[in-house]
Amino acid sequence: MEACSATPSGAALRGTFAGHRLPAQRQAAAVVARPACRQGRHPLRVSASASGDPGKPKKDSLEDRIASGEFTDSGSTKERLTRPLRRVLAKDPVGPGRMIAMQLAKIGQRWQRRAATRMPTATGDIREIVGQPVFVPLFKLYQIYGKIFKLSFGPKQFVIVSDPEMAKQILLHNASNYSKGLLSEILDFVMGQGLIPADGEVWKVRRRAVVPALHKKYLAAMVNMFGECAEHGARVIEQSAKAGKAVEMENFFSRFGLDIIGKAVFNYDFDSLTHDDPVIQAVYTTLREAEYRSTYPIAYWNIVPLRYIVPRQRRNMEALQVIQETLNELIAKCKQLVEEEDEEFVEEFLSKADPSILHFLIASGDDITSKQLKDDMMTLLIAGHETTAAVLTWTFHCIADRPDVIARLREEVDEVLGDGRPGFEELRSLRYTTRVINESMRMYPQPPVLIRRALADDVLGGYDVPAGSDIFISTWNLHRSPELWDEPDHFNPDRFPVDGPTPNEQTHDFKYLPFGGGRRKCIGDQFALFEAVTALAMLIRRFDFERAPDAPPVAMTTGATIHTTNGLWLVPKARQMQQEQHAAGAGAGVAAAAFTEQRELALAFTEPAKPQQQTTATP
């Protein structure tokens, strides 16, 4: 995925937003009717957000206030500011004042006409957005201002794009004119010149080096590893099922994803599902810092002395040191293994001893520094870990109340897999299972916003976009637009036919961007999709999942991906069919015994959630 496209949240929105008056017909159509709520149809409910003073009573919801036109200005700011003077001069009984007022009125009309041709700009007090995931108010503003508008985040303006054709121009047709910009600045401390934040020649060189590593033989080996990790995860969940405890699925999938990406990228077994160690804690400290920096309005960490004074920055530097030392050891071991193997490097090279991407890059003989290798490894670690974990979390959220979807999933999984692991070809046969993942990625895109910066002047939607403009392509708006989708808030895997091609930006002409698009599209799209399908198939085959009765409501918050505020708490129950199938096997007993010592950590997923202030309620 175009992962870690860090998404600025409401915490970064400290400024104002004001705009031009819209034509009457556009204002009338601005608020799009939402579908009524019935089984399986969940209009997104926006909770009233906190005002600047938590002691004050909450006002009308931001949704209602935007719809009322409160944030729609009358047009030209200069014309508006001269109105009081014109009124005073027009009352001049002598005459000169009236003449001046008439001239000002004519000038004002010219200002108004010019304003009508400028890109709409949203301004006004938006402290109410603080605490909300930014893509929710962006959707409301999109309904008012249209497919492209400017939005002030404090002293800086951003261009918000919610149109497939404009997205295609930015990502595909004129991609060379756009860099990662703000994203590179946010992620530099952890990814450096890795594949995602890099631009220009560095990006071209790294892409040419990394893409060949993701060949078919590698993916086939990874699919087998996905199955092993899914079985391992199922044994951990089984402990909670036997105890009748709820599992916090977001935490579970985050650790599951970390274990997979560790093996896939540099042949390192974190085994984070069943134990903790300093490296695991360091990875999560770094991930949290990346998300923190993507949502904080002032980049104080760029002031070097503060890195040693502010406690969280000290912890981040210590975590980075642990990760760097670990990567140095892994790179050294891999180089030694490559020298000892003395294998000829051929197309689709794959080491049986170490099939990782790191091994491929070193064996390729590519002239690369250890610093660049570490940047690449950190980029793949973070990008490949958080995004798939988020996809699986929201997939289970979507299907938790849909027994019809679960029944069809199991019918397909039982027919294709039986009681075995999926292979490369079996995954291709899990077509409905794949469509469930596709639809989950439409409803909860990871990330919900893609960030770009214009390197030269461009024109989008008929409006001038100057060089240096930071642009947010709102994937959330594209995926939830009633103009682009039938019943966009309804979870419906059948909107993507099982006998059709796998949906992507090309099949849906850039209105669907699960992995971005164009030349900067995620290089690990097949890897991520196979990983998610494997996990979904193997867990649904073995367990029923019910929402924990005492769990807090699921709500969204913004980070590098869409997170829950209080977790996704589900109670697993072993399927009766599986109990019968495994009754005669001693393997389950051996596996359970092997996990007895780790039971305390495994049940850490089942500790009650601590209620937090919620942001935005979800389906």
Around Cβ 113, how many Cβ atoms within 10 Å? 12
β-partners of residue 449 are: 474
* Cα–Cα nearest to 289, from 387, 190, 383, 196: 190
Cis peptide preceding 137, ω within 30 of 0:
no
* Cα–Cα nearest to 187, from 395, 386, 397: 386
Question: Any known ligand binding at 522?
Answer: yes
Asked if 9 and 135 touch (Cβ cutoff 8 Å), the reply is no
* Cα–Cα nearest to 436, from 493, 500, 387: 493
| Cα separation, 550 vs 592, whole angstroms | 28
| Cα separation, 117 vs 526, whole angstroms | 43
The token pair at 95 is 């005459």
User: Assign residue 200 a region: left if phi > 0, alpha if psi is -120 to 50, beta otherwise?
Assistant: left
User: Assign residue 301 a region: left if phi > 0, alpha if psi is -120 to 50, beta otherwise?
Assistant: alpha
Asked if 503 and 440 touch (Cβ cutoff 8 Å), the reply is no
User: What are the phi and psi torsion angles at 265 (to 5°)?
Assistant: -90, -45
User: What are the phi and psi torsion angles at 329 (to 5°)?
Assistant: -65, -45
**In angstroms, what is the C-alpha Rg of the chain?**
26
Residue 34 identity: R
Asked if 478 and 162 touch (Cβ cutoff 8 Å), the reply is yes
- 3 state SS of 126: coil
> Residue positions in the annotated binding site?
522
Residues making up the binding site for heme = 522
